[in-house]
Amino acid sequence: MAELVGCITTSHVPAIGRAIAGNLQDDPYWKPFFDGFPAIREWLARVRPDVAVVISNDHGLNFFLDKMPTFAVGAAPQYRNADEGWGIPTLPPFAGDLDLSWHLIEQLVNADFDITTCQEMLVDHAFTLPMKLLWPDAGDTWPVATVPVGINTVQFPLPSAKRCFDLGREIGDAIRSWDSQRRVVVIGTGGLSHQLDGQRAGFINKEFDRKFMDSLAEDPAWATQYSIRDLVEFTGTQGIELLNWLAARATLGDQAQLVHANYHIPISNTAAATMAFATAN
């Protein structure tokens, strides 16, 4: 059976792409954020995943407000970058893993999750930036195949924190039941607290961000006690992207080993953070 080696959670702020394109990793504004990745890259080099399941949210590239699936899974042979042009160069296509995609889709449907199956899918900064941050030296071929999983964090009504946590549990079970010798890492992207519009534009809640990050290590279901409205109040309209983090962490079960964590504000009016967890022995 396949091995789930761990999960990584990280922010996907579009301006990170501009910093990467401008080689600003050592700039005083950006360095505290980029310093969160060397330890995680070293861990990735040790566990050597073959496939990355990337849990993120679409920003209007594949879906818009008139058609917004709650959950979507990519089942394409490859995924092309079609981002908004925030500075990251056009990246080579990401190879898909069709066998794992269809296994996930079938297992999730059998577990009563209604999944939108996408046999064609483009990827934006929510997908491309974490991949570039984790594998910055990838050339024309990425070192892992990929399976995108989309969660609606844009158009109300949103799935509850508990529903996203349960989705993550099922994804983890599906990966572990996959008849393959491949090693899989799960990546959850977005957040943390930020709001880009309205009266609370610029809102950041460091206290809640820290509590949430601590909970992922100590009590991963902690955030499921809160409603979506509570979480928007705590983290801002776009901070609800923490649902992607929650689903990613849930794939590992109750126990996991914290590899590394980093938290920094501000990055483009966003609390930017990164965590990595290894599967518990």
Known catalytic residues are 125, 194
Cα 235 to Cα 253: distance, rounded to the nearest angstrom: 24
Q: Classify burial at 60, counting beta carbons within 10 Å of its beta carbon; exposed 0-12, middle 13-18, buried 19 or more.
A: exposed
Q: Phi first, then psi: what are they for 185, rounded to 5°?
A: -115, 145
Residues 6+ apart with CB under 8 A from 45: none
Q: Is the peptide bond before 266 cis (omega within 30 degrees of 0)?
A: yes
Q: Count the neighbouring beta carbons within 10 Å of the beta carbon of residue 59.
A: 17
Alpha-carbon gap, residue 15 to 258, rounded angstroms: 27
Question: In 3D, which of 57, 127, 55, 129 has the Cα closest to residue 87?
Answer: 129
